[in-house]
A and B are shown apart, each in its own frame.
Chain A
Amino acid sequence: MRQPDPVQPTVPAIKETAIQGSQAAWERALAAGRAEGTVSVVTHPSLQWRGWVPIFQQRFPEIKVEHLGMRPSEVTPRIISEQRNGLFNFDVMVGPTSNSVKNLSPAGVFQDLRPFMLSPEAVDNAKWHGGLEMWADKDATYSLVTAMTVTRATIVNRRMIPRGELTTIDGLLDPKYKGRIVIYDPRETNNGSLQLASVLQNRSEDFLRQVLQDAVFVDSPSQLVDFVVSGRYPIGIGSDPERLEKLQAEGLAQDVEVTTLSAHAAASGIAVFQNAPHPNAAAILVNWFLSQEGQEAYAREGETATRRTDASSYIGDSQSYGTPEWGNLDQYVRANEWQGIPLVDRVSEIAKEIRR
């Protein structure tokens, strides 16, 4: 049944020299960064990506953190416009890597991250699942993947569809489910299109077209969860896991199952902007963020997991999120990285064609 992937990304550039780190360089950066006294950081506004900021501020009280939370639709035009007008206000960016790879890196707003990776403890290759150098961009230069979670966001109301039914992805085409599937609008990059990228990877474009044909699109993942919980539409693709878990924690939505019909791997990472105004303070932030302490704070405050082997996972018993099998990452659609982005874009194109 499986057909060849419609999109074949090319292999990324490989840097010849591995990052080593240097205690002396790190200590010099520490002193110079403290003298600079300020670091300016942009994150995605969600707690997952900004929760660690106050911890860094406590750790380095002598460096004032100027933090701005911005959505991708805002950060992209702003940073590009500022830099084109010679204004370099920001040092570091932390967030999901898709915006960095698709929009910001091609616009040339980042600089090579390697010179900023100094602390031997932070860049210890053995301390990272999959090795330190996992880059989201094809140039293996700008956006380092620091965390990756497997997201399952296809849910089924088992009060309406018994557990013995719809156990494989092929069941989505069963005529009895026609008009009973609701999808978070896959014409955009969101949990809907990301989950469907997994469907596309494992089946075919024709299969995907059939799934989309009679489905209802909604513009809010919370609304999707509410529709599935009420039974209005018993199958939902692209749910809001936090909303569902909140309902289930209060004893609601007990009939709703998070399925394994589809899953995608979502990466988050760090990058440094061109002409960062506080380069040494930026280096302090980057190295602290990559350290065990930084990654532990990131995971704890954001209730997530990281690639650091010595940082705890705070995902808990979530059905929607999990840690990937590090030795077999190819089984996932890596939706925020150069490998998976073309597949997600293809899903959106097909969805637009269907709704044309």
Chain B
Amino acid sequence: MAIFDRLRASGLLHPLTRFGTWRLEKTTLLYSLVLGAVAFIVLYPLWLLFAQAFQVGAGTADTTWGLDNWRAAWTEPALAGSLANTIGLALTRQALALAVGIPVAWLIARTDLPGRGWFEFGFWVAVFLPSVPILVGWILIFDGYNGLANKLLEGLPFVQRGPFDIFSWWGIVLTHLFGATLGIKVMFLAPAFRSLDSALEEAGRMSGANSITTLRRVVLPLLAPAILVVTLLGLIQSLEAFEIELILGAPAGIDVFSTKIYRLLREQPPAYGSATALSMLILFMMTPLILFQQRLIDRGHYATITGKHGARLHALGPWKWPASAAIGTLVVAMTVVPSTFVILGSFMKIFGAFQIPNPWTLQHWTTVLASSGFLSSLATTLILAISASVVAMSIFGILGYITVRTGFLGRGALDFLTWMPSLLPGIVISLGLLWMFLSTPAFRPLYGSTAVLVIAISLSIMTRSVQMVKAALVQIGAELEQAAWMSGAGWWTTVRRVIFPLAAPTLMVVGILAFSTASRTASHVALLATANNRPLVLLQLDFLSDGNFEASSVVGVVILLLTLGAALLARALGQQTIVRE
């Protein structure tokens, strides 16, 4: 049997080598079942939410059908202005993050930059840091009225008034940028750069191009899928982010789309119908971009890991130390400064009040560690985070594999489905899941169990995990699998011995991100947790409800330490694997 027949029979068929014929085979059936399962778990809660958006007076005895929720949503005050703010903020953040993130990822992955390993880890840490305590720290420094930075500058004879005001449009942009927005770009793009065959860059240079031209004309086009995916993920995250916008934007009169949805959900009773209707706008806005990304990946050829893969590092020469100093400063500003705030803050009587006599205390740590639910919450968080990592690396890895490495006809639909859970706010999805578990007899016995939380958390990480795996797999040349087949390897052996090792760096990042997200996500589990399985993040919210910001920060530090521990472990395992290979 010819190699292509064997490939087709297994379903292991690169998009570029499709044959156009289709027949019901074992793998096709298997992939169809996977598609059906994903469709059910994604679309059914969305359908329930969509239907509820047409219910007027939902939650009362007088429920009827109508368009009131949609009318209320689309006639929200100043909707156009908030939409313009949202798009402006999102595009600015993504443009700046890409402009900085791409060169930084390239320097870390492709050059002999001193300290590159630790810098990369530093960007991971920036992604893991809890956003609200960090924000409070930044406000202490950059408050336009009495921030430390302005005070320092105003001490100079020629400065009348300090220039900084974090309660502003640029304050929102830079706070996001110095948090997860830039960090996640580097976290994702560095492995993609690392997978690039250095022969391609060398060919560029031998043709007379300098480093910048090679980066622009050779490297970036090859990494287009990875860059596009990380940009789309960033855009979606920008559309949904609301905490920083609420705190920094409200005093400056800057309203965004997500804060409108958030306010609808805080109404009494919560306006879930209108919030769902408004969320549909995100779906409409993102659909063309998702389809464009699918088309780009489907039509192009982006394999950068081939049978002749080389990974020589580019020597920076005299630029080595200046570049290292610049990135080191950035990493310190993004990680050491805010981490210090968060950790010190958890030992302070009042977060950030350095001016009081004896500002230090262990009381908040004692309160948290002695609270009755702490240990069980810690256990639940560990179960959720580890399960999420496993699901992200295995199940979502397989979904990514099916969408880019097989000729399965439904792979486009499968890919589109994996985007859906991130297009609605977590608390809205959580309500859809609540209804799904309550109304589906097969799921009903699971209601109240930790398995339900695992499913909810898995949905929250589905988009990012699948898309990251997908972008990594696109980089792996088809000839590697074909060579394995020619050598007589089966499907599983090929995946285990060829695909998995090559995709391992990305899978590790996917797993760590899943761990971090699962430890910190409250919205997806808030409606589903019970007295017996409340994760730490809900305990954190309980302390916030008490106005005990410091104890809440303690829980934030515990979650941060858990995630850092997992990241260090993954990093150590990754290095051991590299040494063995």
Spell out A's residues near B (CB within 8 Å).
40, 44-47, 54, 66-74, 76-78, 80-82, 85, 87, 89, 98-99, 102-103, 106-108, 182, 185, 187-189, 216-220, 222-223, 227, 230-232, 240, 242-243, 246-247, 250-252, 352, 355-356
Contacts and interface: CB of A to CB of B under 8 A. Distances in A.
A239 B263 CA distance: 19
Contact of A73 (B246, B265, B546): B265
A82 B531 contact: no
Contacts of B568: none
B349 A250 contact: yes
In order of increasing CB-CB distance, the 3 nearest A-B pairs are: A356-B77, A242-B547, A85-B438
Interface stretch (B320-328, B352-360, B394-402): B352-360
Interface stretch (B22-30, B99-107, B268-276, B497-505): B268-276
B542 A108 contact: no
Contacts of B268: 72, 76, 98-99, 102-103, 189
Interface string B167-208: 000000000000000000000000000000000000000000
Given A107-B59, A230-B145, A355-B77, A45 B542 contact: yes
Majority SS at the chain A contact face: mixed
A188 B271 CA distance: 12
B448 A73 contact: no
B549 A222 contact: yes
B263 A187 contact: yes
Interface string B60-96: 1100000000000000011000000000000000000
Contacts of A78: 434, 527
A28 B139 CA distance: 59
A45 B541 CA distance: 8
A232 B145 contact: yes
Given A98-B268, A102-B269, A232-B145, A45 B263 contact: no
Which residue, of B59, B77, B357, has the highest number of chain A Cβ atoms within 10 A?
Answer: B59
A252 B263 contact: no
Given A72-B268, A80-B59, 17 more contacts: A40-B531, A44-B545, A66-B530, A71-B545, A73-B266, A76-B269, A77-B431, A82-B438, A85-B439, A107-B60, A107-B61, A108-B61, A188-B266, A219-B246, A230-B143, A251-B357, A355-B77
Interface residues of B, number: 50
B545 A252 contact: no
B118 interface: no
B60 A46 contact: no
Contact of A68 (B146, B246, B247, B531): B531
A77 B145 contact: no
A208 B302 CA distance: 62
Interface string B237-259: 00000000011001101000001
Given A103-B59, A219-B247, A222-B549, A77 B531 contact: no
29 contacts: A44-B545, A46-B545, A54-B372, A68-B530, A69-B545, A71-B541, A71-B545, A73-B266, A76-B268, A76-B270, A77-B270, A78-B434, A80-B59, A99-B268, A182-B251, A219-B259, A220-B246, A222-B547, A222-B549, A231-B146, A232-B145, A232-B146, A240-B547, A246-B547, A247-B350, A252-B353, A252-B356, A352-B77, A356-B77
Nearest to B359: A250
Contacts of A81: 431, 434-435, 438
Contacts of B526: 70-71, 74
Interface string B522-533: 000011011110
Nearest to B262: A219
Nearest to A67: B531
Contacts of B349: 250
B546 A46 contact: yes
A75 to B, nearest CB: 9
Which residue, of B60, B427, B431, B438, has the highest number of chain A Cβ atoms within 10 A?
Answer: B438
Nearest to B549: A222
A85 B350 CA distance: 45
